[in-house]
């Protein structure tokens, strides 16, 4: 079965940076989409960034210019580089995977994804 394991979360001060990683295993999809979502306390989970296996990307307006999603297909890993972090970026960040390519705006919608990781906490103060 598909497993997604996130890492790289932590606590930083406003203006700082973090890089999240998501290692995927157990999948047999020749094409797929990987997304990062986040959930703040008391709020719904929202799409942050996504990337198809062909490199097509999408970003939420709130993170454009600050976050960058990338992937290393050889390592089956997707990354989220987060710069200039702000307190409103605080939340649990989840990695998700969908079979096949998913295009914007569906790339940032929870319902497009079947597989989810356990999440990693990001706290910005």
- How high is the pLDDT of residue 30? 86
Question: What pLDDT sits at residue 27?
Answer: 86
54, 36, 55, 56: which is closest to 46 by C-alpha? 36
User: Residues 93, 34: contact at Cβ < 8 Å?
Assistant: no
pLDDT tens for residues 94-117? Answer: 999 999 888 889 999 999 999 999
Give residue-wise pLDDT tens across range 36-66.
999 999 999 999 999 998 999 999 999 999 9
**Comparison of pLDDT for 27 and 4, the residue scoring more:** 4
Q: How far is CA 5 from CA 11, 39, 107, 122, in A?
A: 19, 17, 20, 15
């Amino acid at each position: 079965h598909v497993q997604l394991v996130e890492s790289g979360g932590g606590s930083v001060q406003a203006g700082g940076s973090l890089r999240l990683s998501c290692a995927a295993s157990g999948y047999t999809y020749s094409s797929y989409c990987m997304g990062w979502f986040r959930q703040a306390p008391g709020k719904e989970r929202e799409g942050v960034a996504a990337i198809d296996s062909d490199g097509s990307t999408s970003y939420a307006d709130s993170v454009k210019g600050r976050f960058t999603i990338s992937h290393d297909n050889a390592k089956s890993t997707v990354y989220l580089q987060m710069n200039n972090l702000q307190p409103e970026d605080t939340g649990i960040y989840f990695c998700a995977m969908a079979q096949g390519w998913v295009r914007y705006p569906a790339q940032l919608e929870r319902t497009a994804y079947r597989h989810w990781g356990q999440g990693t906490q990001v706290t910005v103060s």
